[in-house]
Structure 1
Amino acid sequence: MHTSLPAGSAFPKIVVTDLEDNIIELGKISTTADWKMVVVYRGKHCPLCTKYLNLLETYKQRIEDNGVEIVAVSADSKAQLEGHLSDLQVSFPLYYGLTIEQMQVLGLYISNPRSEKETDHKFAEPGMFVINEKGQVQVLDISNGPLARPEIGTLAAGLEFIKAPENDYPIRGTFE
């Protein structure tokens, strides 16, 4: 059964690993930003993910200039992430090792590989979480397949609008 992480909730404590084998708390915002965008991608096997991450890189400076750091994570192994680097032209941090339990906590859709040729493990379908300065999920997008993802230019412009103090924009979708 699929459940979703509520808008406005605290981003859960999830740890993953970087390519230098450092354990990273996924939702922790660095000292160089006040918000964080966590992009969950399917993995090396997904050409649409590669294209999306590379396109995200073209908006990186605009998004970071707005005080939002970008990171990306998948359920891939370290070896799979290392093998993916030749196709990625990104400068934001990439993490690996997202577990099924972590995917479930985030409310992500989880898929089985269609064959061993695709990949050797269950993987998360795309998700995106923007965490505000209070550690709350300000914006989120969950998809059950690689074709539906936020348009990055619209997302960048929307974050500029949301973060502008004069707009006093609340977290949306919190009606209970």
Structure 2
Amino acid sequence: MSLKLSAGNHFPAIDVVLESGDTVRLGQSRQANADWQLVLVYRGRHCPLCTKYLNNLQNYQQALLDVGVDIIAVSADSLEQLQQHKTQLSVNFPFAYGLSIAQMQTLGLYLSDPRSPQETDHVFAEPGLFVVNEQGNLHVVDISNNPFVRPELEALVNGIGWIRNPDNNYPIRGMHAP
């Protein structure tokens, strides 16, 4: 049985290493003009759907920054795998690598074994998306057990913009987790 993170709860303290070698804490914005962070956990270099989704997310980076949300992407891939993957990506938000099994479990993600050594060489997380607010609490949670189900980005970004509009006074939803 795995535990799932509950909306409204504090996002766990998980430190990850960026491609640059710097260590950062997931859920803490690094942009001066952003106080929320979208944390995108992707399967890894081996996943063409992840590549497509990450490249598409780049199209929404400015819209997210306009409402005070920055982006970080992370996977269990090694630095070498991340660097190879970056040759297929046209993005300029930060990437972290080396997410451990314990960290993936802390995030409540579904984990999978590779289908073959040609796919990848490690256990990896299925997609997860977390939007962490300025208090460090989970405002949006979306996890999947397969690569085919992910939030539609235009609807997600529009929804985050609506949530962030103070005139809407929209609370965190889904706080009564099973």
- The TM-score bracket by the shorter chain reads over 0.9
Q: Deviations over 1:132-153 (max 9, x none)?
A: 1110000010000000000000
Q: Hey, what's the Cα distance between the residues in 1 that align with 2:135 and 2:22?
A: 24
Number of aligned positions between the proteins: 176
Matched with 2:163 is: 162
Any stretches of 5+ residues in structure 2 without a counterpart?
Answer: none
Matched with 2:111 is: 110
Q: Deviations over 1:38-59 (max 9, x none)?
A: 0000000000000000000011
Q: Which moved more, 1:97-106 or 1:24-33?
A: 24-33
2:36–2:133 CA contact under 8 A, matched in 1? yes
Q: What's the TM-score, normalizing by structure 1?
A: 0.98
Q: Hey, what's the Cα distance between the residues in 2 that align with 1:26 and 1:156?
A: 19
Matched with 1:14 is: 14
Letter aligned with residue 17 of structure 1: V
Structure 1 residue 2: deviation in Å? 2.1
Matched with 2:2 is: 2
Q: What's the TM-score, normalizing by structure 2?
A: 0.97
Structure 1 residue 19: deviation in Å? 1.4
Q: Deviations over 1:110-145 (max 9, x none)?
A: 000001000000000000000011100000100000
Q: Hey, what's the Cα distance between the residues in 1 that align with 2:64 and 2:96?
A: 19
2:27–2:131 CA contact under 8 A, matched in 1? no
Q: Hey, what's the Cα distance between the residues in 2 that align with 1:134 and 1:53?
A: 26
Q: Deviations over 1:75-117 (max 9, x none)?
A: 0000000000110000100110100000011000000000100
Letter aligned with residue 108 of structure 2: G
Matched with 1:43 is: 44
Q: Hey, what's the Cα distance between the residues in 1 that align with 2:162 and 2:20?
A: 36
Q: Hey, what's the Cα distance between the residues in 2 that align with 1:167 and 1:32?
A: 21
Q: Does 1:60 align with 2:61?
A: yes
Matched with 1:138 is: 139
Q: Hey, what's the Cα distance between the residues in 1 that align with 2:20 and 2:150?
A: 29
Q: Hey, what's the Cα distance between the residues in 1 that align with 2:21 and 2:116?
A: 29
Q: Hey, what's the Cα distance between the residues in 1 that align with 2:28 and 2:164?
A: 19
Letter aligned with residue 132 of structure 1: N
Query: How many percent identity over aligned positions?
Result: 55
- RMSD over aligned Cα, in angstroms? 0.8
Q: Hey, what's the Cα distance between the residues in 2 that align with 1:124 and 1:175?
A: 25
